[in-house]
Amino acid sequence: MTRDFLHELVGSMSQGAAGNPTVAMIEAAFAHHGLHWRYVNMEVAPADLADAVRGARAMGFRGFNCSMPHKVAVIQHLDGLGESAAIMGAVNCVVRRGDQLIGENTDGKGFLKSLCEVLDPRGKSVVLLGAGGAARAIAVELALAGVKHITVVNRGEGRAIELVTLLREKLKLSADFAAWTGDYAIPAGTDALINGTSIGLYDADARIPLDASSLTPGLVVADVIFSPPRTRLIREAEARGCRAIDGLGMIVNQGVISVEYWTGVTPDPAVMRCAVEAALRLS
Ligand code: NDP
């Protein structure tokens, strides 16, 4: 095989991610910008991850995304990590730089880009619902961007305490944990509320246990859920005069950053958002 006759390749290593809107989004960006690149989705079982990375290396892939359950396990097969990926200990985007495969995390960066369109995070107080992979990526990027304080609200204690400890010890951030029992009331003085849980995924009516009266006008309310994008939280926040940010912005922006890492070209986010909406049958 010679590279001369091939498009440059990037890919996605996932498990059970058929119909992934990311494929449509990245391919749309390549087509729109006349890039002779292809993005291919591959099912990789955990036991095959090492071979899959070796294969991507051998075949000259310019990089790849990885989704759960590979985000942590992939690290041992890479040559280095970007700053935030090293802090959070998870990689969703691998980039070939020279002959090295470097792990980055674009989930939190994509979220931050969406947030910054509405609110400058510097010096702000944030309530973050959830302590899983998405919440952890968001928390680390918010800390690196200079937020003042993060309260992590989570049902289970283990991962939440681990996240708060990481924020305090590795990032020297003021952070605390609030146990999630009953409807959580967002404290006065909070600038942004972020849903980083999976509540609402594929269920437009799923209710997040929140005291709705604490969704006050002007509060920024962001949701990681992109399917459906108009979650119950987003609808309720808008109805109460909050500034709402849906999860589509995060997925599009993490794709924008990935394409920039791989190709050096800054793609048009509008083209990518259109492709995601079509893949999710929203348009
Ligand atoms: P994880 O499984 O790692 O974490 C899930 C989190 O949701 C945990 O904090 C969990 O709490 C909490 N949770 C789940 N169900 C409930 C419930 N019924 N009540 C209270 N808390 C609950 O998932 P990820 O962090 O990887 O992903 C979270 C969501 O983010 C997913 O829906 C995913 O689709 C979305 N996402 C969106 C992206 C985008 O680009 N828009 C990018 C990445 C993810 P506990 O610890 O107590 O179990």
Instruction: Give ∠ CA 207-232-269 in degrees, rounded to 5.
Output: 135
Per-residue CA distances from 46 to 43, 73, 103 (Å): 10, 8, 18
Residue 12: pLDDT band (50, 70, 90) is: confident
Tell whether ligand 1 has an atom less than 6 A from the beta carbon of residue 229: no
Q: How far is ligand 1, taken at its centre, from the CA of residue 117, in Å?
A: 23
Q: Looking at the predicted structure, is the pLDDT value of residue 2 above 50?
A: no
Amino acid letter, residue 215 = L
Is residue 71 annotated as a catalytic residue, yes or no? Answer: yes
Residue 194: pLDDT band (50, 70, 90) is: very high
Ranges for all domains in the chain classified under CATH 3.40.50.10860 = 3-105+252-279
The tens digit of pLDDT for each residue in 96-153 reads: 999 999 999 999 999 999 999 999 999 999 999 999 999 999 999 999 999 999 999 9
Tell whether ligand 1 has an atom less than 6 A from the beta carbon of residue 156: yes
Tell whether ligand 1 has an atom less than 6 A from the beta carbon of residue 254: yes
Average pLDDT over residues 249-260: 96
Contact of 101 with 79, CB cutoff 8 Å: yes
Homologous superfamily, domain 3-105+252-279: Leucine Dehydrogenase, chain A, domain 1 (3.40.50.10860)
Say which CATH architecture domain 109-245 belongs to: 3-Layer(aba) Sandwich (3.40)
Q: Looking at the predicted structure, is the pLDDT value of residue 22 above 80?
A: yes
pTM for this predicted structure: 0.93
Contact of 78 with 103, CB cutoff 8 Å: yes
pLDDT above 70 covers a percentage of the chain that reads: 96
Here the tokens at position 182 are: 């009953």
Here the tokens at position 258 are: 């990935």
Residue 16: pLDDT band (50, 70, 90) is: low
Residue 88: pLDDT band (50, 70, 90) is: very high
Ranges for all domains in the chain classified under CATH 3.40.50.720 = 109-245
pLDDT the model gives residue 1: 37
Is 82 buried (19+), middle (13-18) or exposed (0-12) by CB count in 10 A?
middle
